Structure 1
Amino acid sequence: MSLRASKKIFIIDDHPLIRSGLQSEIESLDGYEVCGTASSIQDGIRLMGFSRADLLICDVSLERENGIQEVDSVKRKFPDLKVVFLTMHRDWSYLQNAIAAGADGYILKSEPIESILSSLRQILKGGKVFPGEITSFRYDTEQLREAAEIIRRLTQRETEILKFLSKGKLNREIAEELNLSVRTVESHRTSIFKKLEINNMVELSRILFQLKSPDFL
């Protein structure tokens, strides 16, 4: 296959060993090339302007950046670029935020390299790749309608805190943002969980994700 027909992949990860290892694996495949690497989103945006990448592989937790929070900047500059997060975070709040940000995939670094490469091929062909857990858990429509109504009836402060929780913020981060004590934030969070009849952030993330899904909307 000619170089022009090759699919171009850009890698952003702040660990040099991961960048070089992944680049080596990708370039062992026919029809794929790594057109650049960077250790930060900002450097990546600058370099991708010269590379015409088809797909960006980005870590979530970079040294000075959160990959998910920065993906909007990437998408604005490169609207046709496919974005996949390659991460160690097996967490519903990260996953939910990645989907909301418009990611095409969310792949765990713990997956075998063959599985990672297969997922990259699928994404480049127009598919979406997310952990299987996201499709195996469903609340029924009536439960979701009830949850939506409960959320609409939350107090103003609870609504503020829920918005921060939906972005994966920790209690101490929310407390700093709203100039509250951590104990006050914990109290409001407990109240939200009680009203929704849930026990943890995993359940909250699942509800919020499905409320945003096309099937429910």
Structure 2
Amino acid sequence: MIKILIADHHPIVRYGIKQVLNATQEFEVVADVSTTTELFETLNKVTPDVVMLEMDIPEINGIATLRKIKQDFPNTKVLMFSGQSEDVYALSTIRAGAFGYLSKTSDLDYLMSALKKVAEGNMFITNELAQRLAFDEGTQKPRRFFRKLSTREIEVLKLLASGKRNKEVAEGLNLNEKTVSTYKARLMRKLNVDNLVDLLQQAKALELY
């Protein structure tokens, strides 16, 4: 059973989602909170598989809250959701480490699909967002997301994504191991992640290799 924590400042939203999810055999809402203070107090007591985090949750904004979750509870997966369309916040939340972004206008079936996908450790993005991330409008050329990656950085990323260790990457590209470590650190900075697992997930989801 997938354990969910709902963080939203609207009581009726929390109640509605909780009723829907708890009525299934696949989900259990282990807690629901209305502020970031309550959220972090609760995360110290329970370990959900997915946090549904409202973008406009009170006290700290959603992006800052997401970054703090990533820092303090690195194994916790976060699905952001908001009344705003994904055009407004989706890129920022994925950049900050969210596993997906969902509009509050989405159907309930779509919500449950998103929660399942995120619980499995996969990114959840709509087809429309994936297209915007992967291609420049009108050019149909792959985008270099966030900041442009160099050819060498993409080569390093491809080898890391294939499961190669730093030493093997260095041998494959005729570099020394320290240089590969430098490239890896640069890639993490450009893709705004702090570990290799997140780096490869971001790169795969955003079709950067």
**Which category describes the TM-score, using the shorter chain as reference length?**
0.5 to 0.7
2:65 pairs with 1:70: yes
Partner of 2:82: 87
2:98 pairs with 1:99: no
Residues of 1 paired with 2:28 and 2:9: CA distance? 20
SS at match of 2:64: helix
The counterpart of 2:19, out of the listed 18, 24, 39, is 24
Q: Deviations over 1:94-138 (max 9, x none)?
A: 111101111011011101111111211121122211132222230
Structure-2 change in CA distance of 1:143 and 1:89 (3 Å): closer
SS at match of 2:75: coil
Aligned 1:123-162 pairs, distance under 5 A: 123-137=118-132, 138-139=135-136
Partner of 1:37: 32
Q: Is the 8 A contact 2:86 2:103 kept in 1?
A: no
2:85 pairs with 1:113: no
State the structure with more CA Rg. 1
Residues of 1 paired with 2:113 and 2:29: CA distance? 16
> Structure 1: which 5+ residue stretches go unaligned?
1-5, 150-210
Q: Is the 8 A contact 2:14 2:32 kept in 1?
A: yes
Give the RMSD, CA atoms, in angstroms. Answer: 2.6
Q: Is the 8 A contact 1:141 1:216 kept in 2?
A: no
The counterpart of 1:7, out of the listed 2, 5, 10, is 2
Q: Is the 8 A contact 2:8 2:35 kept in 1?
A: yes
Q: Is the 8 A contact 1:27 1:33 kept in 2?
A: yes
TM-score by length of 2: 0.64
> Structure 2: which 5+ residue stretches go unaligned?
150-189, 192-201
Give the deviation of 1:143 after TM superposition.
7.7
Residues of 2 paired with 1:98 and 1:47: CA distance? 22
- In terms of mean alpha carbon deviation, does 9-18 or 47-56 score higher? 47-56
The counterpart of 1:54, out of the listed 49, 52, 71, is 49
Letter aligned with residue 112 of structure 1:
D
Letter aligned with residue 106 of structure 2:
E
Structure-2 change in CA distance of 1:91 and 1:77 (3 Å): same
Give the deviation of 1:54 after TM superposition.
1.2
Q: Is the 8 A contact 1:23 1:34 kept in 2?
A: yes
Letter aligned with residue 128 of structure 2:
E
Structure-2 change in CA distance of 1:142 and 1:120 (3 Å): closer
Structure-2 change in CA distance of 1:98 and 1:31 (3 Å): same
Number of aligned residues: 150
SS at match of 2:84: coil
Residues of 2 paired with 1:216 and 1:104: CA distance? 16
Which ranges of 4 or more aligned residues in structure 1 deviate by more than 3 Å?
140-145, 211-217
